[in-house]
Structure 1
Amino acid sequence: MAELIQLGHPPIDVTLKHSARARRLSLRVSGVDGRVSLTLPRRASMREAQAFLLSKEDWIRKHLDRQPDATIIAPGATIPVEGHPRLIAETKTRSVKLMADHILIPPGADKSGARVRAFLKTMARDRLVDASERYAERLGRPFGKISIRDTRSRWGSCTSEGNLMYSWRLILAPVQVLNYVAAHEVAHLAEMNHSAAFWHEVSQLMPDYEAPRKWLRTHGGGLHHYQF
């Protein structure tokens, strides 16, 4: 069971996790959201954990200092949609509108984040359903339900029942990145693993998948720095 403690001043929240598989203390600073976690062997004591964290405090703070600042979604902020930067601007409109270089939103800055998030989630669902249907037809395998979430540990998943899940933040990435994730998850309908056979299916669905895969591994964490 996870436990939260604080380290130093100003305090840093650290999540402690005991693991039967762990052989030593393992520290991690997430490149996605800056969360700090410490995994301990089951028999490790709180005193050991605190002493270890104190010895690593400077290292933790250096990593946190390198984390990019979050972008708060509000008028005047810029956010990518399908990989293209768009400036958020208030105007006399009743609904959110996507333009070539802008996202137009109704007046009311306190609701900006919620309005833009709802718009992008709907847009993401439409694009991901379309891509999933296209690749599933090419593969010759049907899928079940599609769900859209705001996951931090994965961009998509496929269950043994054939249900697909995607992160709506993929709509912020270039179009080919969203398509790659859809092709990746649909390929699991044929191969529920990451074997050579699986990657062959991915390459059949999307021959140029390597470039968007690399983009996601390099830049994907930045998609979580937009706060709605």
Structure 2
Amino acid sequence: MGQITLAGNPPVAVVLRRSARARRLSLRISQLDGRVTLTLPQKVPEAEGLAFLRSKEIWLRGHLAGVSGPVAVGPGARVPVEGVMHEIRGGSGRQVRQADGVLLVPGPEERMAARLKGWLRTRARDRLAEASDRYSARLGRDYSRLTLRDTRSRWGSCTHDGGLMYSWRLILGHPEVLDYVAAHEVAHLRHMDHSPAFWRQVEALYGDWRSPRKWLKEHGAELHRYRFD
């Protein structure tokens, strides 16, 4: 893996990546931090890759202009909770409090991000447990456990022994999106695939799942902008 700089105003750093599995040249822009990666199949000369990159420069710069940067969580920052933006402010007492578009986070400033993350994870667990219980009761099948992670590749998963895993960042999005993901994973308790029968089961549990699924595809990466470390 190497790196080059595409000259211009501003210059653009591009990561060059070789892939034995790639069948064609591809250019990708990370929605998390705006990093640009040019992937080349093993036998494609680097010069051909650079020519491909230059041919895509107008497209590349246009998309980079629309990529939002990361948000460091701290005083004055704004983060979403169940789809509603809140401003972070210092608070008193021992618990995070939510009121009128504000999150009041007690304790020293350097601990605010960690404390708020803990509060969000607890809220996510409560909401996801409630939704999973509701849908599994409707399905007539129990799940074995529920775990939360901070995954970037998927919003949820279901194991063969009935374990449900969710990204805690679902609590940042709209409630209907969290509910859809819960219904999706609970449906896997009966269908461990994405067959037509599986999607019929999701619809029977949740209703029309297309809108929240589309939202996740188009906007889900934005939930990873918020940095709690």
Q: Structure 1 length as normaliser, TM-score?
A: 0.86
Question: Residues 33 and 146 from structure 1, CA distance in 2 versus in 1: closer, same or farther, beyond 3 angstroms?
Answer: farther
Contact kept in structure 2, 1:120 and 1:171, CA below 8 Å: yes
Equivalent in the alignment of 2:99 = 99
In the other structure, the counterpart of 2:41 is: 41
Q: Which residue of 2 aligns with 1:72?
A: 72
Cα offset, 1:200, TM superposition: 0.7
Task: Please tell me whether the aligned partners of residues 71 and 77 of structure 1 are also in contact (alpha carbons under 8 angstroms).
Answer: yes
> Partner of 2:3 in structure 1?
5
Structure 2 partner of 1:215: 215
Quote the residue 1:81 is aligned against.
Answer: 81
In 2, the alpha carbon distance for the partners of 1:226 and 1:175 equals 18
Which region of structure 1 is more displaced relative to structure 2, 32-41 or 181-190? Answer: 32-41
Match of 1:14 in 2: 15
Encode CA deviations 1:17-70: one digit per residue, 9 max, x unaligned.
Answer: 4133x3221111133442323332232344544554455455433322210233
2:147 maps to which residue? 147
Structure 2 unmatched ranges of 5 or more: none
Unpaired stretches in structure 1, ≥5 consecutive residues: none
Contact 1:29 1:36 in 2 (8 A): yes
Q: Cα distance 1:15–1:180, how it changes in 2: closer, same or farther (>3 A)?
A: farther
Give yes or no for contact 1:88–1:105 (8 Å, CA) kept in 2: yes
Q: 2:123 matched to which residue of 1? A: 123
Per-residue CA shift, 1:96-115, capped at 9, x if unaligned? 22334221111422222222
| Percent of aligned positions that are identical | 49
* Structure 1: distance between partners of 2:142 and 2:160: 12
Shift of 1:155: 1.2
Q: 1:49 to 1:218 in 2, by over 3 A?
A: closer
**1:187 lines up with 2:187 in the alignment:** yes
Quickly say closer, same or farther: Cα 1:41–1:218, change in 2 above 3 A: closer
Matched with 2:196 is: 196
Change (3 A) 1:201 1:59: same
Structure 2 distance, partners of 1:17, 1:126, is: 43
User: 1:66-98: CA deviations, max 9, x gaps?
Assistant: 102333211122221111222211022223223
Report the TM-score, using the length of structure 2 for normalisation.
0.85
